[in-house]
Amino acid sequence: MKLAVAPELSTYLNNDAYSRVVPVYFAGDGTSKLRAGVRAVYTNEKDAKNGGRAEDFTVGLFYGAPFSAFSH
């Protein structure tokens, strides 16, 4: 079974916010390319309404364009 992880770290300086996105590709399309998987997203930003910080964590399935970092 092939598996790929493509973490993304983003910082938004103007809004004092950041996010962490970690997609894990594990479902292939039958041609040795990965196409689907699970994505976890964490965000942390200023809470303008209540003050302090607001956090959010979500997990979801995704399906998209083929991804291949493996040679045949």
**Segment 21-67, tens digit of pLDDT:** 998 888 776 676 777 889 999 999 988 788 888 889 999 998 876 65
Residue holding tokens 């942390």? Answer: 44
Task: Find the radius of gyration of the CA atoms of the chain.
Answer: 16
**DSSP labels for 38-65?**
EEEEEEEEE-TTTSSEEEEEEEEEEEEE
pLDDT at 18: 93
Cβ-in-10-Å burial (0-12, 13-18, 19+) of 63 comes to exposed
Confidence of residue 6 (pLDDT cuts 50, 70, 90): confident
Q: What is the pLDDT of residue 69?
A: 60
pLDDT for res 59: 96
Decide: 66 and 29 in contact? Cβ < 8 Å: yes
pLDDT (0 to 100) of residue 71: 54
What pLDDT does residue 14 have? 81
